[in-house]
Chains A and B, each alone.
Chain A
C-alpha cells in the first residue's frame, strides 16, 4: 500500500484539523522576517478576478489576498473574525448583528463602512448579477447599516450557520463605489481591503500583487509581493518548482507527490479534505430505484484499491456519505467492505440473478472521473455488474448528461457545513439535486438542523440525517481526496484550508537567511 506511515505530513494534517486561529503562526522557532517575493505556480488560468462569481482553483488565492469578508474560514473549518470583529444572533437565529472593524481602508484609501457591506450583500442577492455565494445566502431578507460600524441581517427563515455563509469565498466585501460603477471592471481590477493590492493582471502569464501597507493586521503581510505564475504544462511546473524558480506549487498531482516530497529542500503537505468523487444513480427509474441494487453496487466498489490506485494512497476511503469527517456534527461511518459475493447475492435478491448491465458515463475532465470509472468497472465486474464506460467531452457531459443521465460520475469540492453539503445535492429542493432520491423525512431533518441553535440538539438531528443517508445510499462515494500542495523550505507558514479556498498568505514569510 502507501509508503506513508506517521510522518511530518500527518502531523500537519492533524494541525490543520485542530488549529484554533487562522491568524496564528505555527511555532517555527523564529520570528517572521519581512520582505521577499513569493512565487506561486499554478496550472489553471486566472480567467477573471470578479470576486462575486469566479470559481477557478487559482483564482481563489487571488481574491483571498485582495479582499476580506465579514468572516473567514480557518484551517479548522470554522468561521473566524475578518472585517467583522464579533457577531451575535437572536434566540431563533433570524437576526444577526455584525460589529465591524474600525479604521479599515480600501486599497484606494477610502474608508470601509457598513454601507459597503450592505452594497455587497445587495449585489450578491441581486438575481441579475451572477454570484456564487447567493445559494448559501438565499434566506437573507434584508441587510441594513445600523451605524457606520454595525450591520444587521434579517433572515426570512431561521439559519444558525449564517457566519459560515458570510465566510463564503465569494462573499467578500467590495466597495459601494465599485458596485455602482461598471461591474465588468471587477474582472480585471480590484479595490479590496485584503493584505495585497493588485499590480499586474495578465491572465495568460502572471498576476502580481504587492503588499498593502494599510492592512488591518499590524506588521502584516510580511511579503513585499506575490506572483501567481501560470504553467499550463504540469511537467514544466514541477521542474520549475524543483529547481527553485518558484516557491510554492499550489496544487501537486498525486502521481508527482512522492517524488516532490522526497526532494531536498521541499515541504510537501497533504491536507485531509472532503473533496469526493461520487457515482450518481437516478432513483426515479429502474434499476436504481431499488435500494438493494444501490447497496449491492456499494459493496462492489473496492474502496481501498481505488484510494491506492487512483489517489496513490493520498486520500481516505469514504463509505457512501457526502459528509466529510472534517465537518462539524459529522458522524463516524461504518466501513463498507468490498464483498463481491454478498453484492451478487443482494443483486439476485433484487431480481437480477444474472447480473446487471449498465453504462457508466464519465466526463473527460478532470481525468480522475474517467479513472474512477475504469477502476469501478474492474472491481464491480466480480459482483455481477457488467459496467460499460462511456467517456465524453466535459461540455457534452454538462449539456447532455449532468442532472439528466441515470448513471454517471460526479465530482464535488468540500462544503463548509453539513447544511451546505446536503442543500447542494440531497434535499428535494437542493441546488444540484440529481438523484431524484427526494426523502421527506430527510428534508425535514435538514430544515430542522438549519433552524436549531443549540449545538447538542443539532448534533442529534444531523446524526439522524446522516443515518438516513447511510440507510438509503443515494450516492456511492468511494473516497475523499486529499488536497496536495508543496512549498520550498525557505517559505514559512504556507497553508491551505481543507476547503481549499483560503490560504492566509499574509502569514507567509521568506526565511532566506
Chain B
C-alpha cells in the first residue's frame, strides 16, 4: 500500500476510488432526495442550492440519482470482472499446467474469440441473450474470459519452470498441491493487476450497453442509461448528460490509475 501511495497516479487513483466506494456504500443513504421523485416545477435546472447538480427532464435530482446509481454501476463492473477473471483464470491455469495438445486446443479457441473486437462481441452476446443487467454482465464476463485466460496462462508458464516448482516436483508432491501452493500464489500478481484495470473497462462497457438500451432498463439509475435518457435534453440542460458522464469517467479513471499503480508496485524491477 505504501508503495502505491508513492506515485502520483497511485494517490489520485486511491482518492478517486475512495470517493467512488464511499458513494457506493453510503450513496443511497446520503442522497438528499428520492431518486425517482418527480418535480414538475423544477425540470432541467442547473446546479442550485436545492439541487447541487441540477435536475433531469422529470425534475428528478441528479445528485440523488448518481448516488443511488453508484452501487449498481460499481457492482456491475466488479461482478462482470470477477466472473470473467474467475473463469478466464481457471481456463488459463488449466491450459498452462496441462501443456501440450490440451493447451494448444484451448488457446486456439480463445485466440478465435480474441479476434473479435470486445464491444462487438459483447453486443453480439447481448443481442443473443436479450437486454437486461444480468445478461449484460454475463456478456462482459464472457468477453473478458479469453484475454484473462491468456494472461493467466502466461503467468503460469513463467512460473512453471522455476526452481521451487521443480523442487516440489522432485519432492514428489501431487500435481494439485503444486498448482495450489506453488504456482498459483506466484502467478496471482499479474492477474490481480489486470483484473483491477479491467473493472474500469467493464464499467465503461456496461455504461455503453445501458446507453444503447441493451443493459439496465428505465427507471433504473444506471449511469449509462441516464446519459441516454437525457441526451435529447442536452441542449436545454447540459448537466443532465455531463453529470452521469463525469461519474462514469471518474470511476473508470479511479480503477485504471489504481490498477496502474498496483502494477508498478508488484513489478520487482521498479521501486527497489
Residues of A at the B interface (CB closer than 8 Å) are: 234-235, 253, 255-256, 259, 305, 308-309, 364, 367, 370-371, 374-375, 377-379, 389, 391-393, 396
Contacts and interface: CB of A to CB of B under 8 A. Distances in A.
Given A309-B57, A389-B219, A378 B131 contact: no
A419 B248 CA distance: 52
Contact of A256 (B37, B40, B219, B232): B232
Nearest to A1: B40
Nearest to B214: A393
A255 B57 contact: yes
Nearest to A364: B213
A478 B130 CA distance: 30
B232 A253 contact: yes
A378 B37 contact: yes
Contacts of B213: 364
Interface string B27-44: 000000000111010010
B232 A374 contact: no
B40 A396 contact: no
A1 to B, nearest CB: 9
A300 to B, nearest CB: 14
Given A309-B43, A364-B213, A393 B218 contact: no
B217 interface: yes
Contacts of A392: 217
Contact of A364 (B38, B217, B233): B217
A305 B38 CA distance: 10
Given A259-B235, A305-B38, A377 B219 contact: yes
Interface residues of B, number: 21
A234 B234 CA distance: 12
Contacts, number: 50
Given A364-B213, A378-B36, A378-B38, A396 B58 contact: no
Contact of B219 (A234, A259, A374, A379): A374
B40 A308 contact: yes
B236 interface: yes
Contacts of B58: 309, 374-375
6 contacts: A255-B233, A305-B38, A309-B58, A378-B37, A379-B38, A389-B218
Nearest to B127: A393
A511 to B, nearest CB: 29
Contacts of A367: 229
Nearest to B229: A367
| Chain A residues touching B, majority SS | helix
A209 to B, nearest CB: 30
B241 to A, nearest CB: 11
A376 to B, nearest CB: 11
B40 A374 contact: no
A305 B40 contact: yes
A22 B29 CA distance: 60
A370 B43 contact: no
Given A374-B58, A393-B131, A255 B218 contact: no
A374 B38 CA distance: 10
Contacts of B217: 364, 370, 391-392
A314 to B, nearest CB: 13
A234 B40 contact: no
B213 to A, nearest CB: 6
Nearest to B220: A391
Contacts of A309: 38, 40, 43, 57-59
A253 B131 CA distance: 25
Return the 7 tightest CB-CB contacts between A and B, nearest first. Answer: A391-B217, A255-B232, A370-B218, A374-B219, A378-B38, A305-B40, A393-B131
A312 to B, nearest CB: 9
Contacts of A389: 218-219
A122 B270 CA distance: 84
Contacts of B40: 305, 308-309
A371 B38 CA distance: 12
A255 B236 contact: yes
A374 B37 CA distance: 10
Contacts of B36: 374, 377-378
A428 B37 CA distance: 39
A259 B233 CA distance: 10
B265 to A, nearest CB: 44
Contacts of A379: 38
Contacts of B130: 393, 396
B139 to A, nearest CB: 15
B231 to A, nearest CB: 8
Contacts of B235: 256, 259
Contact of B218 (A256, A305, A374): A374
A234 B213 CA distance: 16
A480 B13 CA distance: 51
Given A255-B233, A389-B218, 10 more contacts: A235-B231, A235-B234, A255-B57, A309-B58, A370-B218, A374-B218, A377-B36, A378-B38, A393-B130, A396-B130
Given A309-B40, A393-B131, A234 B218 contact: no
Nearest to B58: A309
B169 to A, nearest CB: 54
A30 B131 CA distance: 54
Nearest to B218: A370
Most central of B43, B131, B218, B231 by chain A CB within 10 Å: B218
B232 A375 contact: no
Interface in B186-229: 213, 217-219, 229
A323 B37 CA distance: 32
Nearest to B59: A309
Contacts of B232: 234, 253, 255-256
Nearest to B44: A255
Interface in B124-183: 130-131
Contacts of B218: 364, 370-371, 374, 389, 391
B109 to A, nearest CB: 30
A417 B206 CA distance: 47
A375 B38 contact: yes
A429 to B, nearest CB: 34
Contacts of A378: 36-38
